[in-house]
Chain A
Amino acid sequence: MHIPDGFLSAPVYAAGYAVSGAVCAVAIVRANRRLGEREVPLLGMTAAFVFAAQMLNFPVAGGTSGHFLGATLAAVLLGPLNACLVMATVLLIQCLGFADGGLTALGANLFNMGIVGAIGGWLLFRALKAILPKSRWGFLAAAAAASWTAVVAASAICAVELAWSGTSPLQVALPAMAGVHALIGVGEALITTAVLSTVLAVRPDLVSAWERNGDCGLRSADCGMKEARS
């Protein structure tokens, strides 16, 4: 879903940069104040995993492929604002190093594939976790539903950006994008739950949303991984 140069009009990519830049600024300020020593290697590892997993396009219907995005997974592991930093790193390097996603569209791409899943997906995950049974299955089901929704929402927002840019009318782009990404989102949900259940089995103390047991809001004192306890 990486938008190349040329698809978006100047006002749309400027808006993408403005919104994503503001969110990144908040995430950086917060990390400057609160990022614990112990979280840094986990931040790097999560970013590396997201990059590698995004390379693995899987086939969906009709000669089309899709790939993992990982923003909701990163938010469940690290907290939403740390997840924004992870996604910004991945998308910046994909854009500058690998010509994956246009430089003009980088802000919009970070919003669609990063911030929507990291913040929107995480808020939905929190809401679902609160109503589902307080168990491993409830936790994983909430993550699956949130990550699927984040992918479909990202594709719908991408369609709105294309329509706003005059590239493709909304009534054409929206059903097409949401339709194929409803399938791609199934892959996203499967990978997200597979990774989360593995980490929960090995090191549940490193899953921020599990460890905090639901009381971690965007404005709370510590949304990231546990502070150093050594």
Chain B
Amino acid sequence: MRRKIWGFVLGGLLVSFLLAAFVSPFASKAPDGLERISADKGFAEKGEGGSAWRFPLMPDYKIPGVRSESVGTALAGIAGTLLVFAVAFGVGKLMSRRRAADSEPVGQK
């Protein structure tokens, strides 16, 4: 059963990496709904006062120092997809491990 789950999961991850690497460079560069409305309705400048978090590794899905925008976006997409998987999987593992380690019976309610 475990192998079958992992086959499906690896397939889903492969699709995700392919999207992040090869489709994201072709994504629309137009402003999204909120960005567009903030410009049209005159409140975009409220968001230009600098961000509260000063250490984004790959701001705007680009890698600092990578000259080609497409390559930068693709690499940032791969890195982000990997990071999101690792964090979600790691946090999930921690929670399910804690549950497994819990000696009290669970599932009563």
Contact = CB atoms under 8 A, between A and B. Distances in A.
Interface of A: 1-7, 28, 31-53, 55-60, 62-67, 85-86, 89-90, 92-100, 102-104, 155, 158, 162, 167-168, 172-173, 176-177, 180-181, 184, 202-203, 206, 221-222, 228-230
A47 to B, nearest CB: 4
Q: Is the interface of A mostly helix, strand, loop or mixed?
A: helix
Interface string B88-108: 110111011011100000110
Given A35-B95, A98-B80, A176-B37, A43 B43 contact: no
B20 A52 contact: yes
Contacts of B37: 168, 173, 176-177, 180
A167 B43 contact: yes
A32 B51 contact: no
6 contacts: A34-B106, A45-B8, A48-B82, A48-B88, A62-B36, A173-B41
Contacts of B17: 52
Interface string B1-44: 11001101101110111011001100111111110111011010
A96 B57 CA distance: 8
A94 B16 CA distance: 16
Contacts of A66: 32-33
